[in-house]
Structure 1
Amino acid sequence: MTPVGDRTATGTAAVPVVSCLGVPVTAHTREGAARRVVHRALHLRDTREAHRTGDAEEAVAPEGSDVHLCNAYTLALGDRDPDLLRTLRQAFLNLADGQPVVWANQLLHRGTALPRRRVYGPDLMLDVLSMSQGTGLRHYLLGSTPEVLSALQREVRRRFPRALIAGACSPPFRSLTAQELREQEEDIRARGADIVWVGLGTPLQDHRAAELSAALPVVTVAVGAAFDFIAGNKRQAPAWMQNGGLEWMFRLACEPRRMWRRYLFGNARFVGGVVRQAALRTSPGASAPTGRPSDAGAALVGRRERTR
């Protein structure tokens, strides 16, 4: 992965943003997504510093930016959960984490040039860690268990010796009090974090990433099981299964009691939502809203993001 050598975005190529079950998904390549995260974090850091020194042109300090890795399960949850759908629709950046999401977008938006491969959460995290070496960007790890976080930090230091880990937090496996949430935010702020990796499980991690980015001028990335995979706590599916959209089958075989409901009902709802959206697009009366989440976001089709 090519490191980021300066603070300016490379090029001004437009990146398509397409709607999948009502969620705007930016069609970045793997490298493009990593560069987007790094450049955004550098921009926010520079803006924070300008406000601190009084050199900023804007009177209001910047808000952070939340990034979400969307697989079929995430989008299926959003299809029935208005709060999650709202979080994703208001996000700074949504990426296609699942290969079935990539295929669905290709089916639904045939006239748009889209990448053929997903942006896999663990790959994105590794790429950003690699690119951020030498930039001074500081990473914060939020989620999982103390044991996994320790193993993750050791692995990051081994692979990326110049990557800066500002801190880590393993919150209790329960709802946090308002005071605990404030203390969490203050710890992130005090440690000077620029990128916060949130591994709390969907949909909690998506909501928390959005909350943190609203409270702090940092980039937050809801990254799923990346902590476990990179730390070596869980096995990843073979590449051929990942590329063939069969990762869910591998994870189901590894954790049947935890995953069966997620994949049985989640996959069915995702497929149903894609079929419904496809039917709406081809129907003569497609302009009439139906009120379903997966029918929302028609105005997003054809929208394009310009890299900064």
Structure 2
Amino acid sequence: MIDQGKKNLLGVWVNALDYDVAVSKIINAARESKPCGVSALAVHGVMTGVLDETHRYRLNQFHLILPDGQPVRWALNLLYKTHLPDRVCGPTTMLLVCEKAAEEGLPIYLYGSKIEVLKTLADNLCQRYPKLKIAGFQPSKFRQVTPEEKAEIIQQIRSSGAAITFVGLGCPRQEVWVYEHMDSLSMPLLAVGAAFDFWAGNLPKAPEFLSQLGLEWLYRLLQEPTRLWKRYVFLNPLYMWLFLLQALKIKKFEPLEATPPSQEMRYG
């Protein structure tokens, strides 16, 4: 098991750990009903924090930022000699947490996406893990919610009896949601991005050999070029350039140089 704490990557704190440690920390928080904000960040997720001081503040309040994506793992290994053997990707972490939750009788909740996706996802998860308890699910409203709606969402999740909530709203909306709800929901909240569509069977996952080469982004770009081309064409080269500046100690990236949100966004 590998757990080397948080490392500064371009001003964003990323945990240098493996799947075993990540799952253990999440399940322990679920057992003890403790807040635990979790996100798995690949290059795009890290860059949302680099380019937005307010979002960087949010990310740096999370309990766990998982090194999703080989370029993030490689950066930690090169900068800090962490010797991480693999990335810790969100969709795989979701399955591992569901497997452990099923073993321990910890109910889960699914928040985000569309109702048809959630129904298929819930069915698929229960087929994979017959002992898994799904306390409930509700789709995204695809807009900012009112304070009254936010309170209702919190109450629904609390009253469901869930011990863990998975959030699939897309980056960075899901990280905003987790940040806003971490303290009011005393349980692990996992921002898992495309995992809902992967495990519902709506979106094919990249072949493992491409993921190992750090080319999962290329596979996803070919799947959704209209939606993703700006993300990868602009952010990937910028990430590489900024990483080089940090590695050569030409530029310092200070996690504390971040701006707390002036008001809640209340994504839903």
Same fold, judged at TM 0.5 (above): yes
Aligned residues: 256
The equivalent position to 2:117 in structure 1, one of 139, 148, 151, is: 148
d(CA) in 2 for partners of 1:263, 1:248: 7
2:28 paired with 1:39? yes
- State the Cα deviation string for residues 92-123 of structure 1 (Å, max 9, x = none): 1111011110011112113xx33121111111
Structure 2 match to 1:241? 210
Structure with greater contact order relative to length (CA < 8 Å, sep ≥ 6): 1
Task: Using the TM superposition, give the Cα deviation of residue 297 of structure 1 relative to its aligned residue in structure 2, in angstroms.
Answer: 3.7
Q: Quick check: 1:78 aligned with 2:36?
A: no
Displaced runs of 4 or more, over 4 A: none
1:302 alignment partner in structure 2: none
CA contact (8 A) 2:26 2:36 kept: no
Residue in structure 2 matched with residue 18 of structure 1 by the alignment? 7
- Structure 1 residue 269, shift from structure 2 partner: 2.2
1:216 is aligned to 185
Q: Runs of 5+ in structure 2 lacking a partner?
A: 257-268
Q: Which runs of 5+ in 1 are unaligned?
A: 1-10, 45-61, 290-294, 299-308
SS class of match (2:65): strand
Alignment of 1:89-128 (within 5 A): 89-110=60-81, 113-128=82-97
Name the CA distance, whole Å, in 2 between partners of 1:138 and 1:270.
38
Shift of 1:174: 1.4
Q: Residue 248 of structure 2: SS of its match in structure 1? A: helix
Contact in 1 for aligned 2:3/2:21 (Cα 8 Å): no
Q: Which residue of 2 aligns with 1:7?
A: none
> 1:260 and 1:31 mapped to 2: Cα distance?
33
**Structure-2-length-normalised TM-score:** 0.91
1:88 corresponds in structure 2 to 59
How many Å separate the matches in 2 of 1:231 and 1:182? 28
Give the distance between the partners of 1:194 and 1:235, measured in 2 at CA: 29
Structure 1 position 213, deviation (Å): 1.2
Say yes or no: does 1:28 pair with 2:33: no
Sequence identity, in percent?
36
Q: Cα gap change, 1:193/1:103 in structure 2, threshold over 3 Å: closer, same or farther?
A: same
CA distance in 2 between partners of 1:137 and 1:272 (Å): 43
Tell me the residue number matched to 1:177: 146
The answer to whether 1:196 aligns with 2:188 is: no
8 Å contact from structure 1 (residues 79, 273) kept in 2: no
Question: RMSD of the TM alignment (CA)?
Answer: 1.7
Alpha carbons 1:26, 1:95 under 8 Å: kept = yes
* Distance (whole Å) between structure 2 residues aligned to residue 225 and residue 21 of structure 1: 24
SS in 2 for 1:16: strand
Question: Partners in 2 of 1:14 and 1:253 — Cα distance?
Answer: 34
One-letter code aligned to 2:24: R
Q: How many angstroms does 1:21 deviate by?
A: 1.1
Cα distance between partner residues in 2 of 1:139 and 1:114: 32
Aligned pairs for 1:222-301 (under 5 A) are 222-280=191-249, 295-297=253-255
- Matching residue's letter, 2:32: H
